[in-house]
Amino acid sequence: MLNYARKAWPFALLLCLLYFYSNEIWRSSKDTHTPENKTRTEHPKYESKHDNILADAWNWTTQEPVSFYTFVLAIFTGVLGVTAIVQIRYLRRADETAVISANAARDAANASVDAAAASDRQAKIAEAALTQLERPYIFIFGVHRFGRNQRTGEFSVHYTVANYGKIPAIIEQPHIGFVIDNRSWPPVPVLVDESHKLLTHPILQPGEIREFSEPLPDGFTDGSITVELNEDKAPTGNVWPVLTETDGFQTFFRGVIHYRGPFTKGHETSATWWYFPERHEFVLRGGDEYNYVK
């Protein structure tokens, strides 16, 4: 209510001004019709203190044309003022309604965008989960000790490559072999020979297991061997090569295989073992940085 009163005060001021102006016109018109030689003291009605104000106002309004038109104009202006206030009120309500509708539409649009983004995220999560489930998984394992060919006397390491995924794996770049490093950061071996079965037969079916043997390269040993003895100092038959390691250097056996699936790509598997000379065996080494499937 106070808000509408603030809006209506200019119209009230205008009505007051019109009333004052019309009153002055009426007085002027009375003065022009009153003989100059007559004063207020000659009219008894001005001497009375109990004049009928309403009767005078009615007579002034109905008998004086200028005053009557002024009065009508004041009424018309007042009606226009009230109409303007009502229009402002409804226009403001319409504007508030439009603002509310615009805000609701904006919120609905934002909600739609958020829902679409959430649906997209869910679709990507579902796709990633399906990709992780329906893809090949190649593992390299089985490295333990040196083996020796009784006919040639050659030492080698046996290892296994298997696909434990649900779909076939296609081998792209198999890097498998011995490496030497002096900082315990074994590098990636060179690419296997073209005659290797991982290159000649690059597709591993789901559940397929392949056994391989990697010979000890020339230069890793001087040809001498270590013979295992039992408690009676008799040979057990187990022999190992004596590796020619420079002080600070260590021997590693590592495999890194890059492969893909029929519908996926960019997969990689790595496994790393360190040769422990005192125990004549290979132990897994390097943590997640050198042993992973991704």
Model pLDDT for residues 124-182, shown as the tens digit of each residue: 776 666 667 789 999 999 999 999 988 888 999 999 999 999 999 999 999 999 999 98
- Same domain for 145 and 286, yes or no, is yes
Please check whether residues 69 and 204 belong to one and the same domain: no
What pLDDT is attached to residue 216? Answer: 94
Residue 163 lies in a domain: yes
- 53 to 42, 46, 56: CA distances (angstroms): 20, 12, 5
Contact 30, 43 (CB under 8 A): no
| In a shared domain, residues 87 and 146 | no
pLDDT at position 42: 47
Is residue 57 located within the same domain as residue 194? no
Residue count of the chain: 294
Cα 24 to chain center, whole Å?
A: 76
63, 87, 107: which is the final residue of a domain? 107
Q: With a threshold of 0.95, does the pTM exceed it?
A: no
Residues of the chain with pLDDT under 70: 1-72, 126-131
Rounded distance, CA 174 to CA 158, Å? 16
For residue 237, give its domain range.
Answer: 138-293
* Distance (Å, whole) CA 136 – CA 263: 10
Name the domain count of the chain: 2
Q: What is the CA radius of gyration of the chain?
A: 54
Helices (H), 134-218: 197-200
Identify which of 4, 283, 269 has the alpha carbon closest to the alpha carbon of residue 163: 269
**Would you state the pLDDT for residue 49?**
42
User: What is residue 160's predicted lDDT score, i.e. its pLDDT?
Assistant: 98
Torsion angle defined by CA atoms of residues 109, 114, 120 and 126, in that order, rounded to the nearest 10 degrees? -140
Residue 253 in contact with residue 178, Cβ under 8 Å? yes
Cα–Cα separations (whole angstroms), residue 63 to 92, 198, 249:
43, 122, 128
CATH number reported for the structural domain that contains residue 260 in this entry = 2.60.40
Q: Do 16 and 97 belong to one domain?
A: yes
